[in-house]
Structure formats: C-alpha cells, structure tokens
Amino acid sequence: MSKNDFFIHPTATVHPKAHLDQGVFIGPYSYIGENVHILKNTQVGSYIYIDGYVEIGEDNRFTSQGCIGGEPQDVSYSGEKTLVKIGDRNIFREFVTIHRGTSKGRGKTVIGNDNYFMAYSHVAHDCIVGNKTIFTHAATLGGHVTVGDFVNISGWSAVHQYCRLGKYSFIGGYSVITQDVIPYSRVAGGRPTRFYGLNSVGLRRNGFSKERIGNLKKMFNVLFHSGLNTKQAVEKLQKEFSPDEDRDEIIQFIQSSRRGIVKKESEEWKTESE
C-alpha cells in the first residue's frame, strides 16, 4: 500500500464508521468497532478485538490476541459511554487487555506514550498510565490505579484499586501492592510489600547523575530509616533539603496519598542503610 492508504486484511471486520488514518494496518481476523478512532501508522496484528469508544494515537503496535476497549469489569457498569484513550508509540504484546472507564470513576482509561505492555498484562477501568513504563508478563492493575512515568512493573505483580505508583519506581516480581509506592523507590513482595530502597539502577539508566542519586538516598534515609513518622520525616525534608524537582515530587506524592505509602523496610535495606 502507499503511505496515504490504510490496509485491511480480507478476513478482518472493520465497521464502516470506524476511523482509520493513513498507514494504519489491520491484520487477519481482527475486529474494529464503530466508535474506534485509529491514527496514522498504527499496526493492528491478528485476532485483535478493539471496540467501544476507543481513541488510539500514532505508531502503536498491537501484536495478536489482544482486547482493547472492553467493558469495565465493574458490576455497577450498565453500558454508559466511556472511553479508552491511548497515546503514541506504545507496544501491546499478546493477550493484553485494556478496559474502558466507568461513569462513577474518571469516565476513561488513559495510556500515554512509549509504553511497553508484555503478554497478558491488564489495565483495568479508570486507570491512568504515564509515559515510558514497562509492564512485564501478567502485570495487572485494578481499577482507578495511577502509574507515573518510567515505572517498571515486574511479572505477575498486582496493584490494588486506587493505588498510585510514583515515577521511576520499580515493582519486583509477584508483588501485591496495596499502598502507594513513592517515586524513585524499589518495592517487592506481598502481604506485606516491603521497601527495598532507591531504584538506583533504573535512575542511572535514565541519566540521573551520581549527585542526584546521592541526594535522593539521603532523603530516603530520612523517610525510612530515621525513626520518624511520615509527617515528621516530611517536615524534616522541607527544612533540611533545598527545594528541587525530586524533593518536591516526593513531598507532594506523600501529602496527597490516601492509602498511605509502602514503608515496611526489607532486611536488605536496613543493612544497607546502617
């Protein structure tokens, strides 16, 4: 096909009212519903089901067997007009599921740009996913979860409804997250999830300087290893650390938390901090 065309495989089913921009590719046996809007150069592989009110940006890639825009798995949902909105350059591997929002929630599920969703990962209704995140195999979000930029969720981990994962955080495999995870941190395990310190490897990979990482580690020592409660630790951060992007991000995140933050220290972090 020319760059000004879109391609629909003969075995695919595309509603005549669906909107496909130039360069869109719809593969074998896929289904595209009436209210789907797909922007240029997005590739939809085989056996992909996209239905409901769905807006998909440019240069995304859906490999096979996924379900995008399905009804929210919420017993109160009764057919309201709600949305899935997806940005640009995301990759959705096999059997990924993304559900629409609910009218009692945000009314939409939103995914940003440059994210990678590995096989069997799931984003439930009313979730907000930022940019450049990685969902490893079977990573699962309950409803109303917020995921910051550059978050990495390892395989078979589950995040409870309404939790927030702060930017640059790392969730270890098989974790059960029931509280907010503060930015720049590593957590793992379930019941309880434990705090494993700064996500130093992830920060270095994303260009953080030694000085910036060192300053974050000092702040984490105040928050997690000073013997202060959370309110006292935040007050100390405000007094002893100059305002900057990282300090302000951490303080704002903690002060806006409704579920509390993951604070139980792992033995590894306790030893490292002594």
Could you give the residue numbers annotated as active site? 125-126, 143
Backbone dihedral region of 126: left (phi > 0), alpha (psi from -120 to 50 degrees) or beta?
Answer: left
104 burial type by CB count under 10 A (0-12 exposed, 13-18 middle, 19+ buried): middle
Q: Are 69 and 48 in contact (CB under 8 A)?
A: no
Backbone dihedral region of 12: left (phi > 0), alpha (psi from -120 to 50 degrees) or beta?
Answer: beta
Tokens read off for 48:
């992909």
φ, ψ at 140 (rounded to 5°): -135, 130
Measured at the CA of 219, the angle between CA 136 and CA 191, to 5 degrees, comes to 45
150 burial type by CB count under 10 A (0-12 exposed, 13-18 middle, 19+ buried): buried
Instruction: Spell out the residues 6+ positions from residue 202 whose beta carbon is closer than 8 angstroms to its own.
Output: 150, 152, 168, 170
Residue 103 CB neighbours (<10 A): 16
* 26: amino acid identity, one letter: I
Quick one: which H or E segment has residue 92? strand 91-92
Q: Are 97 and 66 in contact (CB under 8 A)?
A: yes
